[in-house]
A and B are shown apart, each in its own frame.
Chain A
Amino acid sequence: MIDPLTPGVEHLGIVELRIPAKAEWVAVARLAVSAVANRLPFTLEELEDLKLALAEACTNCIVHTEEDDAIDITFDASTDEIRITVRDHRRGKPESIAASLHDERTEGLGIYIIQSLMDAVEYRVDARSGAELVMVKRVLS
């Protein structure tokens, strides 16, 4: 379970982005997370980690949704962390949706990379609304 905001931490704002579930739009998501995370004191390496983690989440959505679907991304920035939520509209039984997050076509590397680069990762599946991945990167300093 991802912890709620620590008391006393300033909430900077929420940015929402919707991209088509197509490969050519992942670069836009990468640029967006870089721009939002730049408002926090992350290192260049941490910014690269965030870009890769988000791209992996988007790639998983693209592989498992229809081409005309969309991916909804929310960046929730606070002074001590960025919380990124990635939602898609994949259909199927909850267990098959959960399995699809560990995509065999990339040997399950995508979710493994996300878990390695982020401080907290959580996902929820719903047969009607799709999959939701929440990931948090904390400011270390």
Chain B
Amino acid sequence: MDIKVHVHGENGRPHVVELSGEIDVYTSPKVKDAITELIDKGHYNLVINLEKVRYIDSTGLGVLIGGLKRVREHGGSVNLVCTNPQIKKIFDITGLVKIFGIFEDEAAATKALA
């Protein structure tokens, strides 16, 4: 069980955090570190791509919420890419669909932040 984190982006455009694997109490610190590093570098508009995430729990959601709170302090935002019905369901039941922009693909999520 692991999580793979890949970050890419160009100056002046939203940076993308691509996650692959499972986000739980064991792996979420790695996700938090990646998001924190981007914010510390001044990237306040982020796309977090969850397309290849098979599983997420409340600690993973907590990391995403923490990231969103921090970027909002700087006028930024976080959009998510999510196509897995099971993951979408977790965002639905927790009401987080109302605070994150959730998109079907990376292009749409990035465009909405432009």
Contact = CB atoms under 8 A, between A and B. Distances in A.
Interface of A: 23-24, 26-27, 45, 48, 51-52, 55-56, 58-59, 62-63, 105-107, 109-110, 112-113, 116-117
B66 to A, nearest CB: 10
Interface band, chain B: 10 to 19
5 contacts: A55-B24, A55-B25, A59-B24, A106-B61, A113-B57
B26 A26 contact: yes
Nearest to A117: B93
Nearest to B87: A48
B25 A59 contact: yes
Question: 8 tightest CB-CB pairs across the interface, nearest first?
Answer: A23-B26, A109-B58, A106-B58, A110-B58, A106-B62, A23-B25, A116-B93, A59-B25
Given A45-B86, A113-B94, A27 B26 contact: yes
B108 interface: no
Contacts of B94: 109, 112-113, 116
A63 B57 CA distance: 14
A105 B93 contact: no
B57 A55 contact: yes
Given A59-B57, A106-B58, A107-B65, A27 B86 contact: no
